[in-house]
Structures are given as structure tokens and as C-alpha cells.
Amino acid sequence: MPRHVQILATGCYVPAHVVPNAVFDERFGEPVGDWLVANVGIHERRYMSDGETTSDMVTAAARQALERAHLNPTDLDLIIVATDTPDYLSPATASVVQAKLGASRAGTFDLNAACAGWVTALNQGALTLIGDTDYRYILVAGGYGMSRFLDPNDKYTATLFADGAGAVILGAAERPGFLAGKLQALGEFHDAMGIYTGGASRPCTPETLATYGPPRVQFVRKFPRTFNTEYWPGLIRAALAKAGHVLDDVDWFLFTQINLRTIEMVMQQLGQPLEKTHWVMDKWGYTGSACLPMALDDLVVTRRGVRPGQLVVFCASGGGIALAVSVWRWQQA
């Protein structure tokens, strides 16, 4: 009998510190907030407190998901944390989360595919459960603490990025939840956007810091502005074909929450009504690898909800440039 995988529960953590667009209007002396609302869809965002870090946010989201799944931390067999803002370069933030949760049985690893990380990790977690009967429950979390890597005087990054965490619990099941996944990358853009100081290529030596400054997220060179509108539709169609479905079968499309105008354009290209998607960047800013599980959790707990039997597509892209799609049949009651 084939083994299947379902999403058993979701969880989310949003930091308490609210940063409205008005902060940047004052900082830069121009109506940045009006531009952000009109062109990106962001009204405000959240930052971690000085005492918080990525593992704290992931742990909080994980606890909520475990509680909703009626599981204990010791029930977890594996913890996967998708992040490019880890607590440390090494060891894995997932190991920190394991300790904070008390999930003493769980194996751990981090996955860095930038902002496509959580969807990539979701596919990996599902395939692990399908292929190895030693696993019953897997935590797949996305954590983003990019406020620690912002240049406050860079109008293009300081206004966009934010902090947060989202998580799901995957469990082996008799009915199919995970249907298909698809990955793609355009590695020639690896040097276009990212955090380039702090790794082996550009270590934090006094000389490097004097030349480049501390680790900061930055746009180094341009990549096509229409990248997501060019690549998301084809990747979605390919993943749906693997799952034996077409666009009209899908009930919910959840995208990387970087730009509401991009989401609107892609839904139009797909020939799908905007009511089939959901966004949270307006209130939480851009939270990278955490944005999709945060949007999913917000959709699940709001009155809109996701009903059993509905088809959900997750589509993400991020630095690298990495892309990932995952197709699920929602079975959660």
C-alpha cells in the first residue's frame, strides 16, 4: 500500500515590533510609503526585538503547529529549517530549534534556497516521509530575520524586508496530500542579490569589513524585472501536469510575498481569479523563506479558510535564482 503525506497543522510567529511606512517617509524625506503601497503592496512590516533571533521565531511557530496537531515535540522525527538568515553560519539553526523545543528524537538540518527555501524543504520533507518508514512526523519551518542584515540607509532594501516565521507539521497518511513538486534555478544570477559578506568567499576579516562593510543584504546587479512573471506560470503548469491536474482544478495559489502587483499579474496570466490567492505582505512586509508558511497559516485561520479536498499550489522564488513549486490536496479537517 503506498504511503502518503499530509499537512497536519500550521503555525506562525509575527514579531511584536511594527514598522509602518511612515518611518521611511521621515528617514528618506520623501513619500516612500505611497510608492510602496502603489507598487509593492506593503503598508507595514515587523522586526524582531533586540533579544530575539531566527531560532526563537521558528520555535514559536513550531510550538503553535505542534499544539494544533496535538503532538509533543518528542513526536518529531525530523526538523527542517529553511532560512538564509541563520543564527550562525554553523551549526544549523534547526539544531538550535530542536534544543529549544525539547524535540530530543528529531534529526535536524537547515536548507538554504533563499526565499524558495520553504517550498523546497516542503518537497524534501514530503519525499522523506514517502520514502522512509522510520519517519512519521516532520517539522518544516521557514525563518527570516533579515532586519539584522539591513542597511538602514538603503531605500531599496530597508523598506522591503522584514522578520517572521511559519511552520507546518507533515505526517504520514493513508490519503494523498502531497501530489508533486518541481524545482528550477538560474545560477547565473547567483551574484545579483544576496548577503555576500561573512562566508568563505568574503570572510569577515578587518580588510573585508573595511572594503565592503558588515554582512548586509544588497542588490548588486540587475536581473530581469519580469523574472517571476516569466517563470512562475510555466513552473506551475509543469508541476500540475506531474500531479495530473490543470490550472482550473486549483483552489488556492500561494506565492512568494515580495510584490502584490506581481501576484496580480501572474494570476491574470494564469487566467485565474484573484480570489484564488492570499497575501500578507501588506501587513507583515517581505519575509522571504517564511512568507509562504505565514501566508498559509493566515489563510487557514482566517474566515476564508482552506476546505478539505481543495487543491493548493505553493510557488516560490529567491536569490540564486532558485524556484520551487509544490502541489497539495488539502486533507486537514
Q: What is the pLDDT of residues 213-242, one digit of tens each?
A: 999 999 888 877 788 989 999 999 999 999
236's CB contacts (< 8 A; 6+ apart) are 247, 253, 270, 313, 315, 325
Provide φ and ψ at 262, rounded to 5°: -65, -45
**pLDDT for the residue numbered 222:** 80
Residues 121-150: tens digit of each pLDDT: 999 999 999 999 999 999 999 999 999 999
Average pLDDT of the residues in 188-208: 92
**pLDDT for the residue numbered 303:** 65
Residues 85-105: tens digit of each pLDDT: 999 999 999 999 999 999 999
| b/e per residue 144-167 (b: at least 16 CB within 10 A) | bbbbbbbeeeeeebbbbbbbbbbb
Q: What is the DSSP letter of 333?
A: -
**pLDDT for the residue numbered 227:** 84
**pLDDT for the residue numbered 224:** 72
**pLDDT for the residue numbered 314:** 98
Is 333's pLDDT higher than 60? no
**pLDDT for the residue numbered 280:** 96
| b/e per residue 184-205 (b: at least 16 CB within 10 A) | eebeebeebbbbbbbeeeeeee
C-alpha distances in Å from residue 3, one per residue of 85, 137, 143, 172, 258: 34, 13, 29, 7, 35
Residues 254-311: tens digit of each pLDDT: 999 999 999 999 999 999 999 999 999 999 999 999 999 999 999 999 867 899 999 9
**pLDDT for the residue numbered 45:** 97
pLDDT band with cut points at 50, 70 and 90 for residue 17 = very high
Q: What is the pTM of this model?
A: 0.96
What is the chain's mean pLDDT, rounded?
Answer: 95
**pLDDT for the residue numbered 259:** 92
**pLDDT for the residue numbered 115:** 95
Average pLDDT of the residues in 164-171: 98
**pLDDT for the residue numbered 174:** 87
Is 2's pLDDT higher than 80? no
Average pLDDT of the residues in 314-324: 95
Domains and CATH numbers, the chain: 4-178 (3.40.47.10), 180-187+221-329 (3.40.47.10)
pLDDT band with cut points at 50, 70 and 90 for residue 152 = very high
